[in-house]
């Protein structure tokens, strides 16, 4: 009888472990980080056996959804302000916030000879539409406006701006020809250090404020071991190697 009980207990533990292993982690990810996140997710799942359910989109929309109870467990924002605001509201764990990537900005065209390495086309005005992300919502949009102001080209180009809701939509405007050129995330056009297509000017970092992108553990998952394992993996060397391959920098404090 004791042996049967022991076997039953063992089976219960195994079932519990199996259930834990099958647990899905729900993550909200800024759209600019789509490409590296897909690689990171594959490696994390392969390494740990855990499953990730990832939503990509506007950080502003995710912030609103999380504020209204959306069931995410980890948030990878395109900025620092939104994770900090969630911490202030008691919706995220303050000690968990960290910069997982520092973004970079590029002026890009899908055509091979349109943008040179100094972005001369911006000064000549030889284009009809310039795509930028909404500077009121998107850090990459704010950075684009900073660049134009620094170059004293914000007013002369303003009538040609086509504004995307986020950096993913901005990239789409350019890639589909709705704008000849656009300010996009370097991660959208660079892979393993090489330009995937078209032509681009990688903007000097002194033309805009650092685009620090922070991740945070949401309060609902403060005791979730899978969530903690993912954040630890995101800080690790394997994930950082992938992040750098897409043109991001990684904060030394990680």
H runs (alpha helix) in 73-119: 81-88
- Which regions of 14-169 does DSSP assign to beta strands (E)? 24-30, 51-57, 74-76, 98-103, 105-109, 130-133, 161-164
In this structure, are 114 and 138 located in the same domain? Answer: yes
- Domain for residue 12, yes or no? no
Task: Give residue 58's pLDDT band: very low, low, confident or very high (50, 70, 90).
Answer: confident
- Tell me whether residue 187 is in a domain: yes
Instruction: Note the pLDDT tens digit of each residue in 188-226.
Output: 998 888 899 999 999 999 999 999 999 999 999 999 999
Instruction: Please check the confidence at residue 89 and state whether its pLDDT lies above 90.
Output: yes
| Residue 131 backbone phi and psi in degrees, to 5 | -90, 135
Asked if residue 59 belongs to a known ligand binding site, the reply is yes
Q: Are residues 89 and 62 in the same domain?
A: yes
Provide the mean pLDDT of the chain: 90
Is 27 assigned to a binding site? no
Are 121 and 147 members of one domain? yes
**What is the reported pTM?**
0.80
Mean pLDDT over 37-54 rounds to 95
Q: Give the closest residue to 215 by CA, choosing from 46, 119, 101, 67.
A: 101
Residues 177 and 194 in one domain: yes
Q: Are residues 123 and 195 in the same domain?
A: yes
Q: Based on the fold, state whether residues 194 and 219 are members of the same structural domain.
A: no
CA pseudo-torsion sign 32, 173, 141, 206: positive
Count up the domains in the chain and report the number.
2
Q: What is the pLDDT of residues 223-240, one digit of tens each?
A: 999 999 999 999 999 999
Q: Is residue 151 part of a domain?
A: yes
Q: What is the CATH number of the domain that holds 70?
A: 3.40.190.10
Q: Is residue 15 part of a domain?
A: no
The boundaries of the domain holding residue 166 are: 105-202
In a domain, 60, yes or no: yes
Give, to the nearest 10 degrees, the angle between helix 167-175 and helix 139-150.
Answer: 70
Whether 1 maps to a domain, the answer reads no
Whether residue 9 lies inside any domain: the answer is no
């Amino acid at each position: 009888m004791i042996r049967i009980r022991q076997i039953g207990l063992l089976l219960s533990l195994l079932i519990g472990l199996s259930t834990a292993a099958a647990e899905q982690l729900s993550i909200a990810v800024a759209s600019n980080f789509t490409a590296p996140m897909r690689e990171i997710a594959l490696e994390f799942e392969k390494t740990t056996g855990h499953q990730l359910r990832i939503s990509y989109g506007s950080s502003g929309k995710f912030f609103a959804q999380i504020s209204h109870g959306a069931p995410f467990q980890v948030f990878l924002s395109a900025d620092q302000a939104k994770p900090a605001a969630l911490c202030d509201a008691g919706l995220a764990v303050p000690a968990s916030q960290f910069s997982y990537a520092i973004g970079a900005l590029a002026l890009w065209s899908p055509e091979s000879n349109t943008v040179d390495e100094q972005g001369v086309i911006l000064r000549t005005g030889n284009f009809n539409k310039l795509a930028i992300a909404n500077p009121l919502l998107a850090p990459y949009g704010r950075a684009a406006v900073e660049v134009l102001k620094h170059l004293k080209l914000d007013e002369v180009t303003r009538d040609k701006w086509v504004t995307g809701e986020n950096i993913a939509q901005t990239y789409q405007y350019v890639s589909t020809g709705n704008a000849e050129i656009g300010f996009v995330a370097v991660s959208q056009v660079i892979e393993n250090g090489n330009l995937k297509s078209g032509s681009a000017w990688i903007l000097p970092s002194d033309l805009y404020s650092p685009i620090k992108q922070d991740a945070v553990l949401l309060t609902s998952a403060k005791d979730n071991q899978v969530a903690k394992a993912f954040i630890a993996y995101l800080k690790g060397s394997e994930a950082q190697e992938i992040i750098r391959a897409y043109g991001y920098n990684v904060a030394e404090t990680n």
